[in-house]
């Protein structure tokens, strides 16, 4: 990936959100049975969810529903199918609709393939890809890219295509900065730093995802392309901020250790 037209991307996402409203228009909520309505969800918000136009539901209402304790996963999936156009719309506008980025879509349960139609999953996956790319192009500091990958993994979405977008967006600062930050803050290398016993310790990460992220981030191909970008950036070191100087060091050390095939002293 070299350059992108951000206006074109925004327009494409806008059309996609409109498609969400069309695709999920047949789903309705008559009674909320999937989550706790005794203390988690107020009667006022229950009434608004059932009566107000979906596209006018306030973020706080969506937040309360998504934050409520699950009583029935099957019912939650049906209710989420009604709410997802508005959830996606708010998220695209920069709203964090859970207390942590990783949890925004955790009630989707896309891994329950018998509960979702293939075109519904494809639509969500397309949004995930475009939103990740938008985050990179905007250099959005409110979210880290690995947080978004964890978020979609917890939603039950396959993330290989998202890792590919991150890798291909190497010419954009966000892609490099977030890779360096991930190495610096969320990789625990144990006694033999950068070589053995590495672990990805970001909150909410599952063992399956941790292994995938380790395999990706520590592969020769990925280390090489990010090392090259960091090396180029350091040539203009006066333009780097303190955060970049601190985290880029992790990329440089990783490459040095892998090349020397030994752990640092």
pLDDT digits (tens, 9 = 90+) for 148-182: 999 999 999 999 999 999 999 999 999 999 999 99
Helix, strand, coil % in the chain, rounded to nearest 5: 65, 0, 35
Domain containing 246: what range?
173-260
Q: Is residue 1 part of a domain?
A: no
pLDDT digits (tens, 9 = 90+) for 108-132: 999 888 999 999 999 999 999 999 9
pLDDT digits (tens, 9 = 90+) for 43-92: 999 999 999 999 999 999 999 999 999 988 889 999 999 999 999 999 99
Q: Is residue 115 part of a domain?
A: yes
Q: Does residue 155 sit in the same domain as residue 181?
A: no
Q: Does residue 153 sit in the same domain as residue 25?
A: yes
Q: Does residue 133 sit in the same domain as residue 235?
A: no
Q: Is residue 205 part of a domain?
A: yes
Tokens 């090259």 sit at which residue? 228
The burial of 60, by beta-carbon neighbours within 10 Å (0-12 exposed, 13-18 middle, 19 or more buried), is given as: exposed
Number of domains the chain contains: 2
Q: How many percent of the chain have pLDDT more than 70?
A: 91
Q: Does residue 232 sit in the same domain as residue 102?
A: no
Q: Is residue 217 part of a domain?
A: yes
pLDDT exceeds cutoff 90 at 189:
no
Q: Is residue 164 part of a domain?
A: no
Q: Is residue 73 part of a domain?
A: yes
The DSSP bridge partners found for residue 200 are 187
> Considering only CA atoms, which of 132, 106, 110 is closest in space to residue 121?
110
Task: Taking each helix axis as running N to C, give the angle between helix 220-234 and helix 242-260, from 0 to 180 degrees, rounded to the nearest 10.
Answer: 130
Q: Does residue 27 sit in the same domain as residue 83?
A: yes
Q: Is residue 166 part of a domain?
A: no
Q: Does residue 79 sit in the same domain as residue 33?
A: yes
The DSSP bridge partners found for residue 188 are 199
159, 190, 209 - which closes a domain: 159
159, 184, 201 - which closes a domain: 159
106, 134, 159 - which closes a domain: 159
Q: Does residue 117 sit in the same domain as residue 178?
A: no
């Amino acid at each position: 990936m070299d350059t992108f037209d951000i206006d074109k991307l925004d327009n494409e996402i806008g059309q996609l959100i409109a498609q969400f409203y069309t695709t999920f228009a047949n789903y309705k909520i008559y009674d909320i049975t999937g989550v706790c309505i005794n203390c988690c969800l107020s009667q006022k918000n229950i009434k608004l969810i059932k009566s107000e136009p979906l596209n006018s539901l306030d973020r706080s209402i969506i937040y309360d529903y998504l934050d409520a304790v699950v009583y029935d996963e099957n019912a939650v999936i049906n209710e989420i199918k009604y709410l997802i156009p508005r959830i996606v719309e708010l998220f695209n506008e920069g709203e964090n609709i859970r207390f942590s980025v990783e949890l925004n879509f955790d009630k989707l349960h896309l891994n329950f393939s018998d509960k979702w139609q293939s075109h519904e999953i494809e639509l969500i996956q397309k949004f995930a890809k475009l939103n990740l790319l938008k985050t990179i192009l905007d250099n959005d500091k409110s979210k880290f890219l690995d947080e978004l990958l964890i978020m979609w993994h917890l939603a039950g979405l396959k993330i290989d295509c998202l890792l590919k977008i991150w890798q291909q967006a190497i010419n954009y600062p966000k892609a490099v900065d977030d890779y360096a930050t991930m190495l610096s803050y969320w990789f625990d290398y144990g006694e033999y730093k950068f070589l053995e016993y590495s672990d990805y310790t970001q909150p909410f990460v599952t063992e399956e995802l941790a292994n995938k992220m380790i395999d990706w981030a520590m592969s020769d191909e990925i280390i090489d392309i990010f090392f090259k970008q960091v090396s180029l950036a350091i040539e203009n070191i006066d333009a780097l901020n303190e955060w970049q100087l601190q985290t880029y060091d992790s990329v440089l050390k990783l490459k040095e250790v892998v090349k020397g095939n030994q752990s640092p002293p």
